[in-house]
Amino acid sequence: MLTEPKGGLAAASAFSPEEREAVYRAIETRRDVRDEFLGDPLPDDLVKRLLSAAHSAPSVGFMQPWNFLLVRAPETRERIWQAFRRANEEAALMFSGEQQTKYRSLKLEGIHKAPLSICVTCDRTRGGAVVLGRTHNPQMDVYSTVCAVQNLWLAARAEGVGVGWVSIFHEAEIKAILKIPDHIEIVAWLCLGYVDQLYQQPELAVKGWRQRLPLDELVFEESWGCQAPSAVSR
């Protein structure tokens, strides 16, 4: 029989207008930072607040599958950057013509410039072989870890800290550099640092790579393809 821990139900009233606006502002002005990092180190208490926000994320079966590996040493970040550089060249060759030229013009990481990197991982064995809520969708642990990444990102925005998500690398190379066990999955490599400027719109939109899709076109009602009322747009 499950024993209910301390900290039961409490009032769930809406936030004040000012608090609510702050939440939406963090969501709407969050950006993927690549080249706007300042060199100042992040204080330990700030990093702890960001990690605490990440650790407060929801997780299937409350399995909390994440770990956060902090990387500050320049020599380690240089090895990670070399792994990125090799993979980025492979990625560039997957595009052709004008698109490849545009790809090569983009700065896609801030590994050198950001003073802190965090490797966010998912331990898919945590919680045992059968996890409540994961019985029919084994990917739920990875999705839970992505929620932790988003929590950290929004908290960082509120703190004036920029975050850049680097995904262009071969996982095996990063695991070898950081001595990550085979059964652990890398979900995100995050670059963090103070910023004093952010793009008003996503950088890839500003630089013409892709534009934001209209929300109305992405929302269906009752069945696939049935357009929802236009009132869904904010």
The confidence score (pLDDT) of residue 229 equals 75
Rounded to 10 degrees, the C-alpha dihedral 71/72/78/82 comes to: 30
Confidence class for position 228, pLDDT limits 50, 70, 90: confident
Q: Quick one: 31-198 is in which CATH superfamily? A: NADH Oxidase (3.40.109.10)
Give CA separation, 89 vs 8, 93, 100, 210, 211, in Å: 53, 7, 11, 21, 24
Confidence of residue 7 (pLDDT cuts 50, 70, 90): confident
**Which residues have CB under 8 Å from 74's CB, separation 6+?**
none
pLDDT score of 3: 63
pLDDT of residue 193: 98
C-alpha to C-alpha distance for 111 and 166, rounded to whole angstroms: 8
**DSSP code, position 82:** H
| H helices present in the chain, as ranges | 17-29, 44-55, 74-92, 97-105, 140-158, 171-178, 203-206
User: Within 10 A of 145 (CB to CB), how many other CB atoms are there?
Assistant: 25
Segment 133-191, tens digit of pLDDT: 999 999 999 999 999 999 999 999 999 999 999 999 999 999 999 999 999 999 999 99
Domain ranges, ordered by start, for the chain: 31-198
Q: For 97-143, how does the pLDDT look when each residue is reduced to its tens digit (9 = 90+)?
A: 999 999 999 999 999 999 999 999 999 999 999 999 999 999 999 99
C-alpha distances in Å from residue 148, one per residue of 49, 52, 152: 13, 10, 6
From 162, 149, 166, select the one nearest 82 (Cα to Cα): 166
Q: Are strands 116-123 and 184-194 parallel, antiparallel or unpaired?
A: antiparallel
144 in Cβ contact with 57 (< 8 Å): yes
- Stretch 204-230: mean pLDDT: 91
